[in-house]
Structure 1
Amino acid sequence: MDQEDLQSFSRRRVEFRLCNVSGYTNELLEIHSDNPSLHVLFIPGNPGIISFYKDFVESLYQLLGGRVSITAIGHICQTNKDWEGGRLFSLQEQIDHKIEFVKQELQNKEIPLLLVGHSIGSPISIELCRWFPDRVVYCIGLYPFMMVNRQSRWQLLIEKLAGSPLLSTLFSSFAALLGVLPVRASSFVVKKTIGKSWSRTASEAACSHLLKYHTMRNVLYMAKTEFEKLSETPDWKFMKKASEKLSFLFCKDDHWAPMHVFEEICKQVPEVDVSVEREEGHKHAFCCSEAGSLHIAQYVASLIKNHLSD
């Protein structure tokens, strides 16, 4: 690749697009390669506000040398506008939506599909592997939320909040009240509470999307159905069958993807590629800082390059 080509792809920035799939509107981030050897589909965690991952997507594209197209798809009704009129969507409905998205938008079967999922996006990606075994060549789960962690007080609190329609409504209403404040005021609140060390990208995503009633209600409702689904035993049989296509990254002190889940995966599916983040300071919500976004982009790019070289 000559210097002119290098400058061309390195200047390329992610594009935002609204996409209608099965009658539902969702938000996408996209960077298209002129001659892609691979298409990466990224599935977020919950919140599934895709603009949180802008820095990660752009870093990943640059690290892969502009040879790979990337699409990052958000969750239904976790969007800037309430396109669905207040409807609530479960985990299964979000999974079904991603399946239909692949069928509708990623029709070029000549280009291999590689999945990257964060948190609850990891089991969603595994379901896509199940649906598209001939298309998906690899699946990377970042800090995967695979099983309910009964040892986590934070998960217990969220489960109770998400499981109560009254508490969910009150909490979402409070978030919406913060969202109607002037931008400087809402940004100040975010910075002083949940976003003390967040990047500008993450703070802007929180103010523009998370502090909306419809978004927060859907975040909590999806969480409710996640706790219900992930209380069940994972499908170890399928994971064993697809083990050559799977890779997971864990980190210490992560209550969403704790070390006992790492150990269980190693026990049940010893063939799968499982790693533990050794560097200090990198956490589950990697997309909320520029350093975290770059670090995980480097990790994913390394896996992809190794896979393509096989």
Structure 2
Amino acid sequence: YGEKIILVGHSIGAYIAIEALARRTRSNIFKGVVGIMPFLEANFRDSSYVSKDRWLRGWMWPVMFLLAFSLHVIGLLPHTFKQFFLRGNTATMDSKAKDFTVANMLRFSTITNYLFLGRSEFIHHLAPFDWTRLGSFRSHSHFLYTTDDMWAPVHCFKQAQNTGVDATLLEGVPHGFSVGPASGNQRICSWLSEKIADLSRHQ
């Protein structure tokens, strides 16, 4: 009823938000877009990213099916065994996120969905991101980057700045901030509320 939408997305969600903006059929329903650690293109400068890319795009689905089934079998084991198996993945998580991951991650449907989405993202992001997709909303876009983030690396932060987009760089906040220490959440929420307030003031 006359209210305009501010699109907010984290990681691949930021890319989806930009796509929604670019494919809009009406020009007067959005105020802008806010991307938190946006995963917009491949980062072949990072060795960890390269290994994940080769793994996800190189394996055939039968191999992934066997992997998902094997992990599902591990998921049937007692909680203590699952906790030990996932200790590397959950090391930086807070206690609630850690317990939830251990209880729910090792399921066949969850793993196959995770692999499918991950593989799709890597395939789709082979081409460099086209900043012109923001169109007239470039001046109404805010993006947050952090140091040591392979999904939203510093060189992409510099690209965003060079295109005239408002981009901010924070130190010491992980990509998965929502399952990490509360201090990271607070810093992100503070930045986010500031940018949403800024967009809300614009007509």
TM-score bracket, shorter-length normalisation: 0.7 to 0.9
Structure in which a larger fraction of residues adopt helix = 2
Distance in 1 (CA, whole Å) between partners of 2:80 and 2:136 is: 51
1:286 corresponds to which of 156, 177, 191: 177
Give the CA deviation at 1:145.
0.9
1:175 corresponds to which of 68, 71, 79: 71
Structure 2's unaligned 5+ residue stretches are none
Aligned partners of 1:159 and 1:223 also within 8 Å: no
The residue correspondences of 1:1-310 to structure 2 (distance < 5 A) are 109-132=1-24, 133-163=27-57, 164=59, 165-190=61-86, 192-267=87-162, 269-270=163-164, 272-278=165-171, 280=172, 282-289=173-180, 290-310=182-202
Which residue identity lines up with residue 205 of structure 1 in the other structure? Answer: F
Give the CA deviation at 1:274.
0.6
State the structure with bigger RCO (CA 8 A, min sep 6), 1 or 2.
2
TM-score (normalised: structure 1) = 0.58
Aligned partners of 1:161 and 1:167 also within 8 Å: no
Give the CA deviation at 1:161.
2.3
Give the CA deviation at 1:167.
4.0
1:197-256: per-residue Cα shift (whole Å, max 9, x none)?
311332233234322122222222222221221111323222243202211111111111
Aligned partners of 2:36 and 2:143 also within 8 Å: yes
Aligned residues: 197
Structure 1's unaligned 5+ residue stretches are 1-108
User: What RMSD over aligned residues (CA atoms) do the two structures have, in Å?
Assistant: 2.1
Distance in 2 (CA, whole Å) between partners of 1:125 and 1:119 is: 10
From the superposition, tell whether residues 131 and 263 of structure 1 become closer, same or farther in structure 2 (CA, over 3 Å). Answer: same
3-state SS of 1:242 partner:
helix
From the superposition, tell whether residues 129 and 147 of structure 1 become closer, same or farther in structure 2 (CA, over 3 Å). Answer: same
Give the CA deviation at 1:297.
1.5
Give the CA deviation at 1:173.
2.6
From the superposition, tell whether residues 177 and 110 of structure 1 become closer, same or farther in structure 2 (CA, over 3 Å). Answer: farther
Which residue identity lines up with residue 176 of structure 2 in the other structure? Answer: A
Aligned partners of 2:42 and 2:128 also within 8 Å: no
